[in-house]
Chain A
């Protein structure tokens, strides 16, 4: 569930308030949005994707609230890690190294076979 709106990073654009499909945030005049209905959070991570400054953190636990520490999350590279991992906002096709590309194609074929085998 959503656990952090970083006061320090937030630029008060309220994009998260708009983009959250389950209406978890409330906008605050001249302030960072507040997590008003945490229990409605479905842990879909979409607010993180839409946050332009990586000010949000959604913990992986969907059924309970957990303590988070902003400095620790930054230290572990977890603030904004979702946006980076899905290559969000890039217009050009995602390119990897030729070696990894080749591996991916081989694995795609293997995975298709494996799924078709019904395991």
Chain B
């Protein structure tokens, strides 16, 4: 077996041949909200921290260009009970009340901390701050400032390509500096994966850096996943535009091209009707149900929403405009790396996961984690992962820096197959062809899932066997591999859930099966396995911590 870094750094020892080699107690991969909270918390615990982002910490990811609600609920027993209950049924009763409570507590604390750090929350009638939402640009600018002030070294434009491991577990990561094409590596006591979900390059707002890279790297060291069948979130957006902010569409009427109203179409329960209509014809929308006196407020509440309309010369409250459903995959879905303990550790020693890279089933079950729940999860899980990773790194003692790990990356990095180069772009288009169509991913069938799996398995074989050779191509090829892997975990898990629950709609099994009220775990790369959570073998209504 060739050392996985061979293509990038020659066949020499891994670390010595790299252009930039650093050591840290904690390496955080990903600079969105989860990564920033992890970095800040680890540093506050005395860890030396490095944060590597594929793009730019402060603008990368789904949060930065958006405004988002936050699951911020004051510690009042009734309010908290309502907050938990609102998600139980929607999520198919797969969430865990103890985790919901932890996240509600942590989010409340973290939001108040943001206020102390000067986040400019809007004011209510009495002049008190409204802390139930965050504007992405402002939030992430503040978080970058806090990360820097905590003494964290930030590596921008530095995608990670693979984790480093030895017999004790994960020991860092290696990647590329996008600008120079040179390799970086960080030897670290613990690694936090905060690379976001996977939206398959659909151009949903801010999502094109979210290609599932962290999931691929985690799987290569043996981490597993939970909730991967809940990965088919689609957002309403103006056709040809990226702004996937859907909060106002509950005020929309949906129309055929000839102006007839589409019966049953709606933003939430009627989204399937929109998808079915889009399979054969265009769909138009108009926010004509917003009472006239409130139309001016919409702009104040969510300025980003109006950006594409203003630039297209459309008034969304009076004009009909064409809409589409854009795939947000596991970004607004709930599947991700499985968390095995309260410190957000994965099942691999030294590896932690936070934000959308981790499963959000614990607080959302099988229904979209979008908006307020994902924002709450990012800041809570980031906090815990940063804390957990720093404690783990400390427990390794002084020997941590003497480890000699190897690169764990395989697909597109290891050169043991045919010599011809990979057609990465063709594979990316191919994966998109299996996960974008509503009649494959939203309306799932036994035959459709099996057919997609066969195609995707073929892509995986091609990616596994062939190397990508130029620096920029290596990053793109790893993205392709991560997307193929994510799609395979999604559909393999969907095949095992022979019912309809949460966002997983199975046409051959259109109703909920009470005996399947348990989470599904997924893992593997070459061979994929799926099994029910062994601790949930008896379906129970989880009330233990309520």
Interface residues of A (CB under 8 A from B): 18-23, 40, 42-46, 49-50, 59-64, 78, 81-82, 85-88, 90-96, 100-108, 110-111, 114-119
**Which residues of A sit under 8 angstroms from B54, Cβ to Cβ?**
21
Q: Which 4 A-B pairs have the closest CB atoms?
A: A21-B55, A60-B308, A42-B208, A43-B242
The residue in A20, A21, A101, A104 that gathers the most chain B C-beta atoms within 10 A of its C-beta is: A21
CB of A92 within 8 A of CB of B208, answer: no
CB of B297 within 8 A of CB of A104, answer: yes
Find the B residue at minimum CB distance from A48: B307
CB of B311 within 8 A of CB of A46, answer: no
Which B52-88 residues have a C-beta within 8 angstroms of A? 54-56, 58-61, 64-65, 86
B60, B61, B300, B307: the one contacting A104 at CB < 8 Å is B300
Main secondary structure of the interface of A (DSSP, over half): loop
**Which residues of A sit under 8 angstroms from B304, Cβ to Cβ?**
45, 85-86
CB of B203 within 8 A of CB of A104, answer: no
- The number of residues on chain B lying at the interface, defined by a beta carbon within 8 Å of a beta carbon of chain A, is 61
A-B contacts counted at CB < 8 A amount to: 145
A64, A87, A103: the one contacting B296 at CB < 8 Å is A103
CB of A88 within 8 A of CB of B137, answer: yes
Minimum CB–CB distance for A38 against chain B, Å = 13
**A60-B311, A85-B307, A86-B135 known, 20 other contacts, Cβ within 8 Å:** A21-B209, A42-B203, A44-B205, A45-B307, A46-B64, A59-B311, A60-B308, A61-B240, A63-B240, A85-B304, A93-B120, A96-B300, A103-B296, A104-B300, A105-B125, A107-B294, A107-B301, A115-B247, A116-B86, A119-B266
Minimum CB–CB distance for A31 against chain B, Å = 17
A23, A40, A49, A100: the one contacting B137 at CB < 8 Å is A49
**Which residues of B sit under 8 angstroms from A23, Cβ to Cβ?**
55, 157, 178
* Interface presence of B258 (CB below 8 A): no
Minimum CB–CB distance for A86 against chain B, Å = 5
Minimum CB–CB distance for B143 against chain A, Å = 14
The residue in A42, A92, A96 that gathers the most chain B C-beta atoms within 10 A of its C-beta is: A42
- A78-B310 Cα distance, complex, nearest whole Å: 9
**Which residues of B sit under 8 angstroms from A40, Cβ to Cβ?**
208
B55, B125, B238, B266: the one contacting A20 at CB < 8 Å is B55
CB-defined A-B contacts under 8 Å, sample of 14: A18-B156, A19-B56, A21-B54, A43-B205, A44-B206, A44-B242, A45-B304, A46-B59, A85-B307, A95-B123, A110-B294, A114-B250, A115-B268, A119-B267
- A110-B301 Cα distance, complex, nearest whole Å: 13
CB of A46 within 8 A of CB of B250, answer: no
Find the A residue at minimum CB distance from B475: A23
Find the B residue at minimum CB distance from A81: B310
The residue in A59, A102, A105, A115 that gathers the most chain B C-beta atoms within 10 A of its C-beta is: A115
- A64-B203 Cα distance, complex, nearest whole Å: 12
CB of A22 within 8 A of CB of B301, answer: no
CB of B247 within 8 A of CB of A111, answer: yes
A19, A102, A104, A108: the one contacting B58 at CB < 8 Å is A19
**Which residues of A sit under 8 angstroms from B137, Cβ to Cβ?**
46, 49, 86, 88
The residue in A44, A94, A119 that gathers the most chain B C-beta atoms within 10 A of its C-beta is: A44
- A19-B154 Cα distance, complex, nearest whole Å: 13
* Interface presence of B306 (CB below 8 A): yes
* Interface presence of B118 (CB below 8 A): yes
CB of A18 within 8 A of CB of B56, answer: yes
